[in-house]
Structure 1
């Protein structure tokens, strides 16, 4: 597709940071009013009372795909479309029709045990997700995106990111060619030895979006705050999905090459 021109997109500095770090934060990527509408809708499917913490008995509630208007609108603002054009290439991506799954996290004293460093591998048909694969052209995925639908501070279970880990993963994937590498194999060598990377937290007010390289290593963490955290992590799909991958001339491809 071809996007409408936007008065605001990524600066040269932001693009350089994406290439170096593997992600870029966009503030006010969608209106806070849309975040309010999304949370209100999600609460209808959560077995708890939004104003009674005593009913928040589960550390994580996982909700399915949502394609209703507020969800689609949040994913398709002019600034996001402009950023997709800059990173993936004009005509090289598909508009998001649904927001994907929501792992809604609640304050809890114990670790829910669903963390673990990973990348979002993008193709496979094995029932065991550890056998799904990623390859060096990122078949089936242009970006990982983190949409914050509530304010997320350091105690509110922000996603942890290994800064610059996308390059280590790209080096690990390159020799495997089109077949790629399974998630299990990537875990076994700590994602190309990226364990020493500096870490960052995906914090920000509702309306913030993190656009992440598909090879960026990240993990969930326990919620130590006081308010439920609402975040979605849909992919940006290539225009020729499911077999297509990242345009080799794109900023995303350049970031993997280093």
Structure 2
């Protein structure tokens, strides 16, 4: 979605992220990491960027009026710096869909603290995170661009149409769900780069397979990837047949449409 919010608001949000990073936007010698993954933020600027009239209208079209919750926490923020700077820590590349809920054991342990900086590769990922065919707790994957993002600026790489390949893989696990390895999922489908200007947003099906890529440009890439929360749960077998766009895509992947 072009111009989901203003470039001025995007610049305000970038300024807040620079402060959190503890780096100087004008001093490249301080850009000493390839990737820094920041947690969620509830600052007014970020909340406004994800809740514009244009975005709310789009959420209504895809999920249905009254079927989603306004975003109150924005994140996480994988900030990617040009690769000619010093590297630190493990990379987090890999084809995946974003998990949407925790295992019962992780929930019992209090979940995770998403504030501050996050590890690039959390330990025991498959023992912590889950997704299921009903896309529990995730109505949309939202990619919000806070900086201009060209083909060299670490745009998210998408496998177009791969959201239709995921439902059959998740269906056997029912409501309990699983941690899905997505390396080969949708591998034969076309790819697209999530490029755009600061203030643009991508509203993606929660099962869209994607991966980060290296920043080979000259400026850091600032982006958030919050989850739009549903009200209640998706229903793949509505008696009245009035499924929203996300549900219809899941049904299509299951061969029901």
The bucket for the TM-score relative to the shorter chain is 0.7 to 0.9
Matched, 1:166 2:163: yes
The match for 1:118 among 96, 99, 107 is 96
With the length of structure 1 as denominator, give the TM-score of the two structures. Answer: 0.82
The match for 1:234 among 226, 233, 257 is 226
Bigger proportion of residues as helix: 1
- For 2:130 and 2:93, the matched residues in 1 are separated by 19
- For 1:99 and 1:120, the matched residues in 2 are separated by 15
Q: Aligned-pair distance for 1:64?
A: 2.2
The match for 1:128 among 124, 127, 143 is 124
Asked if 2 retains the 8 angstrom alpha-carbon contact of 1:139 and 1:246, the reply is no
- For 2:134 and 2:225, the matched residues in 1 are separated by 20
Give the 4+ runs in structure 1 shifted more than 6 A: none
RMSD of aligned C-alpha atoms? 1.8
1:52 maps to what in 2? 27
- For 2:24 and 2:175, the matched residues in 1 are separated by 48
1:253 maps to what in 2? 247
Q: Aligned-pair distance for 1:178?
A: 1.7
What is the total number of aligned residue pairs between the two structures? 225
Unaligned runs of 5+ in 2: 107-122, 253-257
Unaligned runs of 5+ in 1: 1-25
Asked if 2 retains the 8 angstrom alpha-carbon contact of 1:138 and 1:246, the reply is no
- For 1:245 and 1:116, the matched residues in 2 are separated by 27
1:149 maps to what in 2? 146
Matched, 1:211 2:203: yes
